[in-house]
Amino acid sequence: MNTLSEIASILNAYTIFGVTYHVSPDGDACGSALALVQGLRSLGKEAYIISKDEIPSNLSFLPLSMEIDGENIKVRNRADVIISLDCGNIERMSCDIEDHKGLIINVDHHVSNDIFGDYNYVDCTASATCEIVYRLLKELKVSMNKDIATCIYTGIVTDTGSFRHSNATSVTHKIVSELLKYNIEHTKIHSELFDSKPFIKLRLIGKVLDRSELLMDGKLIFLAVTNEMVRELNIDTIDTGDLVSYGLQVKDVEVSILLKEAENGGVKASLRSKNDVNVQKIADKFGGGGHVKAAGITFKNETFYSAKDKLINEFEKELISL
């Protein structure tokens, strides 16, 4: 593992940077990448986003969001360095790296990070990758401005659940207090993030909650987004966002699971924990990853029902002792 000042030295030593993140990027992935690209450009470097994914619609308010168009998937040969942000392993990168001949720098805050870079900075105590990028930009002596601050604030709000999760530390709040000095419009950012859903999304939430199941003496809640629901509502893209967190609103629920059928086969699981159950450990058993209280799995060779059975079995062992 490297220090942040070693990472800064590498950035200072090179000129052309491709910045990428995990597939299905969220506010932390997009926010950290757009903040870093702006910071590097302000130092006279050439920096660009590499992304297979388009910008999620609720993040299109971010400065430079138009540079995340899902078209730049290939690494241009001339990049000296690819910087991977908020991504635990190479397979999850929103980028094709076969052509890349230069270095890879891995900057992340996931417990499950594979340390796959030539240089690595992984800090699991950071609430968000944006928190690390803030510190990195300081190390690089980049001058903060409203646009960069907006991107970093967005990532921190996303990954701390608007400052309510246990990962929001005094360091997090100190950084945010600095960001607010740049006149970021925090109320507007929150509305863009959370109050800009298409109406159909509310109907989907209604359907999912209506069909939720409370299991294991009320300690586990199971939510599902099935292809049938998607067909019924005639939705084309389904961003389930943080639907899984609704499950934790129920008294005495310890774990919430959301399973989503993918159109092209495969099943995506989102896992959330309220208190002491480590969902990252369980995600890890199935080749997934994430954090202690928020993790995910992409099942490639399971059906919806076999994935459900396997997960419920595993959680039964964890929850029996509670």
Which residues form the interface with ligand 5GP (CB under 6 A)? 22, 88-89, 92, 110, 112, 270, 288-291, 294-298
131 belongs to the binding site for Mn ion (CB under 5 A) = no
Considering only 19, 21, 27, 28, the residue that binds Mn ion (CB under 5 A) is: 28
In the bound complex, what is the minimum distance in angstroms from residue 32's beta carbon to Mn ion? 8
Q: Between 75 and 283, whose beta carbon lies closer to ligand 5GP?
A: 283
Stretch that binds Mn ion, among 27-35, 209-217, 269-277, 281-289 (CB under 5 A): 27-35
Bridge partners for 21 per DSSP: 85
Q: Are strands 81-85 and 46-49 parallel, antiparallel or unpaired?
A: unpaired
* Residues 154-173, mask of contacts with Mn ion (x by CB under 5 A): -----x--------------
288 binds, among Mn ion, ligand 5GP, none (CB under 5 to 8 A by kind): ligand 5GP
Shorter beta-carbon distance to ligand 5GP: residue 221 or 295: 295
| Residue with smaller CB distance to ligand 5GP, 18 or 289 | 289
User: 129: helix, coil or strand?
Assistant: helix
Choose from ligand 5GP, Mn ion, none: what does 27 bind? Cβ within 5-8 Å by kind: none
Number of other residues whose CB lies within 10 A of the CB of residue 93: 23
Q: Between 2 and 158, whose beta carbon lies closer to ligand 5GP?
A: 158
Q: Report yes or no: 51 and 21 within 8 Å, Cβ to Cβ.
A: yes
H/E element, 206: helix 199-210
Total residue count of the chain as it appears in this document: 322
Q: 310: how many CB neighbours lie within 10 A of its CB?
A: 17
Q: What amino acid is encoded at 97 in this protein?
A: I
Q: Which is nearer to ligand 5GP, 124 or 214 (CB)?
A: 124
Q: Which of residues 268 and 308 has its CB atom nearest to Mn ion in the complex?
A: 268
Is 299 within 8 Å of 319 (Cβ atoms)? no
192 binds, among Mn ion, ligand 5GP, none (CB under 5 to 8 A by kind): none
Q: Which does 28 bind (CB under 5 to 8 A by kind): ligand 5GP, Mn ion, none?
A: Mn ion
Q: In whole angstroms, how close is the CB of 100 to Mn ion at the nearest point? A: 23
Among 86, 254, 261, 318, binds Mn ion (CB under 5 A): 86
Q: At which residue do the structure tokens 């052509």 appear? A: 99
Contact 106/84 with Cβ under 8 angstroms? yes
| CA nearest neighbour of 93 among 51, 56, 130, 49 | 51
What residues are paired with 256 via a beta bridge?
221, 272
Residue 154: other Cβ atoms inside 10 A: 31
Q: At what angle do helices 186-194 and 146-159 cross, to 10 degrees?
A: 50
Q: How far is the CB of 30 from Mn ion (least distance, A)?
A: 10
Residues binding Mn ion (CB under 5 A)? 28, 86, 129, 159
